[in-house]
A and B are shown apart, each in its own frame.
Chain A
Amino acid sequence: MEVAILFGLIIGLLLLGVPIAVALGFSSIIFLLVLSDTSLASVAQTLYQAMAAHYTLLAIPFFILASSFMSTGGVAKRIIRFSIACVGHFHGGLAIAGVFACMLFAALSGSSPATVVAIGGIVIAGMRQAGYTKEFAAGVICNAGTLGILIPPSIVMVVYASSVDVSVGRMFLAGVIPGLLAGFMLMLAIYIIARIRNMPKGKWAGWPEIFSAGTEAGWGLFLIVIILGGIYGGIFTPTEAAAVAAIYAFLISNLIYRDMGPLANKELAPTKSFKELLLRIVRYVVEGIVYLIPSMLHKDTRKTLFEAGKLTVTLMFIIANALILKHVLTDEQIPQQITAAMLAAGLGPIMFLVVVNVILLIGGQFMEPSGLLVIVAPLVFPIAMELGIDPIHLGIIMVVNMEIGMITPPVGLNLFVTSGVAGMPMMAVVRAALPFLVILFVFLIMVTYIPWLSTFLPNHFMGPELVLK
């Protein structure tokens, strides 16, 4: 009963327009002061330790920063060129290339909205010029952008791993097969629609274009090697990998791509001979050394750091307050009560997963994904363990639910962003996204009932998951 009042209060405050973080924190504090004998000091302690004691969450600001350096346009632009060179010649080729580019960018970025902004900002306009309808373009990118949190790295996975204390590396690995599958399902659907509606197809640009575009994009795509290779090759912890990715993204955007910083707009024409190429390499190395410090102190770097910092603050302030709520729920032993009630109701694994999906889908209508996960994961995790569900599998199910939450109203970050980049009203984007949303739903059902999709890679490379308790 008290729990119902608590959640009712939170939703009521949210609908009034109270910031999500304050709605969570304020409701939790009231609940705590009325029902328990825990002090206000403990609330402050939880708020501070949300950052200072959760070493896993440290990866979040770094992934956001890396993404900010790459979102300056340069990396996305080159990835798109490469994608078009690869798959642009199929029916619906530009749309398929858009999905492919989203998948590639998702492998660099931990966030879905960032993926939509980076890729959608360019591809949607390009698709319209090539003769696609605005709705089709927006629907494709809005959906494909959600892969940002399923294909590793992923901020949402970091949050899940931190909430239930499983390994981030394991979660990242678990996202690979589902991420590829979801991308492939979207591309297949586009191809079928394109054949039926006879949509435009591009020209096959040939292997030299693929090679040339690939080399250009390669500097950016090398981040995949740094992040995943670094983690599984035993060079970094996931947090360190995120920080190294941020530094690398800073270096290439300033000194190689030159999209920002003191060398901005000084990218040079392609070299024509081998001798020219050698000279060019020497020049880049020398300039790279000379301009390293000026780049660090440049106003573009300051601005990127500041923007990434601001985004981190808004996200972490929600997560920190969600942790206050989690503390209050734990203090009142709510998870145990819910576990007992659900087990007493004779819930089996299948029904349980249905319930989890429903809770997350409803929650995802109101909440930002990371905050929602912090609250829901500790509630359902103990039950899942009782029922023998793999914690990594549960995590991937949650991530896919979060993806769907991002493209359904009223709170759907990808919807907002797509409406912005496509210049369409929100409701029009919702309708445009709907056909592809069906695919994500089918995908959710597959991920839920075929655990193998999530668990094969982590179990193969890291042995079966054990709950580190």
Chain B
Amino acid sequence: ADACQDGEVKVKFSHVTNTDKHPKGIAASLLQKRVNEEMNGKMCIEVFPNTTLYNDDQVLEAMLQGDVQLAAPSLSKFEKFTKKYRIFDLPFMFNNVEAVNAFQQSEAGQKLKDGMQRRGLQGLAFWHNGMKQMSANKPLMVPTDAKGLKFRVQSSDVLKAQMAAIGASPQAMSFSEVYGALQTGVVDGQANTWSNIFGKKFFEVQDGTTETNHGILDYMLVTSTEFLDSLKPDVREQFLKIIAEVTEARNAESFNVNQAAKASVIAAGGVVRTLNEAQRAEWVAAMKPVWTQFEGDVGKENIDAAQKINGVMDQIAGLESQIQALRSSLK
């Protein structure tokens, strides 16, 4: 079902991961399968995985040019379109993936999805990878442990500032060289989700990974406003409905995918360290000043909204455990 027939709207989806192991790749494949089956005769998707067609930066240029219709870059790639997206890179902005999810579904989050229309892009859905952890060639328990270390970071001002805040020096580097660079010590550490740390085997060449949950790695499924406007209303509606269903199904899985990856890291002999309350508070204290630096870009209202959601989510969690406790008291 991969070859498009005449008369179908052809949608090229270019991404940078595999098709069957990475959370994003799996979601893209599922979307392709469902659209090609359910919208047969109306629309078809061709997926170009593994950076074979474009990398995450070029794909957005190509999309504005009309050469590709779907992409799912990580959220920091949208900083250039609107600096509001920097909220997702700010350290300890969200307590967990549930809070991220709730924020994205809130009014503030929905606004962000539409926030790039004047730049020609339309956000379709947020796709989760998960919370980011930190690894290095020595144990990282408190922020001062990272002082003087060289960390490979993605190209994002927030991520660079956050490394600078703990006294580490951020380094830019081609992604295919990261494993080798960590192994030989050209760089000392990196930050990523469990699924990437396991998938890229970074844990093999690091002293250990600390479960900091300090940031979020998420993607946005995006298209051009021009393309979306060109679709017939019924086609667009069905297309968006399938996207919403695929998003919900895969996002629900993302937490499990990362927990499984974490278990695999441990099973493969990787060292995983967790932080106690006091240690975590030190990391937060060291990194949080970065918020003020970018408050103007992100908008205070968005930070407030995110923090309110954190609070509400905590309350819900508290209430849920009370309910649990009450239930068990019935027995």
A/B: CB atoms within 8 Å of each other: yes
Interface of A with B (CB < 8 Å)? 37-39, 41-42, 45, 49, 53, 55-56, 161, 165-170, 231-239, 327, 330-331, 333, 335-336, 378, 462-463, 466, 468-469
- Partner of A42 from the list B65, B175, B185 (CB cut-off 8 Å) is B65
**B177 lies within 8 A of chain A by Cβ:** yes
Residues of B within 8 A of A37 (CB): 10
Give bound CA distance, A45 to B54, whole Å.
10
Q: In whole angstroms, how far apart are the Cα atoms of A468 and B175 in the complex?
A: 9
Complex Cα spacing A468 to B52, Å: 13
Partner of B173, one of A41, A165, A237: A237
Q: Which of B43-51, B89-97, B224-232, B244-252 contacts A (4 or more CB under 8 A)?
A: B43-51
> Which residues from chain A contact B46 at a C-beta distance below 8 Å?
333
| Contact (Cβ within 8 A) B177 A238 | yes
User: Which residues of the partner chain A approach B204 to less than 8 Å between Cβ atoms?
Assistant: 463
Residues of A within 8 A of B183 (CB): 234, 462-463
The main secondary structure of chain A at its interface with chain B is: helix
Q: Which residues of B contact A378 (CB under 8 A)?
A: 52
Bound complex: CA of A168 vs CA of B204, how far in Å?
Answer: 19
CB-CB < 8 A to A232: which residues of B?
184
A49 to B56, CA, bound (A): 13
| Complexed CA–CA distance, A234 and B186 (Å) | 5
Residue in chain B with minimal CB distance to A38: B67
Q: Known A231-B184, A236-B186, A330-B52; judge A468-B61 contact (CB<8 A).
A: no
- Residues from chain A with a CB closer than 8 A to the CB of B104 are none
| A-chain residues with CB within 8 Å of residue B55 when the two chains form the complex | 53
**Chain B nearest CB: distance from A113 CB in Å?**
27
Residues of A within 8 A of B185 (CB): 234
Q: Is the CB of A235 within 8 A of B186?
A: yes
For the complex, give the distance between the alpha carbons of A335 and B174 in Å. Answer: 25
Q: Considering only CB atoms, which chain B residue lies closest to A240 in the complex?
A: B186
B57 contacts which chain A residues (CB < 8 A)?
A: 53
Alpha-carbon separation in the docked complex, A79 to B200 (Å):
42
Is there a chain A Cβ closer than 8 Å to B305's Cβ?
Answer: no
6 A-B contacts (beta carbon < 8 Å): A37-B10, A231-B184, A234-B185, A237-B174, A239-B174, A333-B2
Partner of A161, one of B65, B176, B186: B176
Please pick, from B53, B66, B67, B176, the residue contacting A166 in the complex, using a CB distance under 8 A: B176
A330-B52, A333-B46, A468-B200 given; A167·B58 CB < 8 A: no
B309 CB to nearest A CB, Å: 34
Instruction: Specify which chain A residues have a CB less than 8 angstroms from the CB of B263 in the assembled complex.
Output: none
Q: Are A55 and B67 in contact (CB under 8 A)?
A: no
> In the complex, what's the smallest C-beta–C-beta distance from A308 to chain B, in angstroms?
22
* Any A CB within 8 A of the CB of B311: no
Contact of B148 with A by CB under 8 A? no
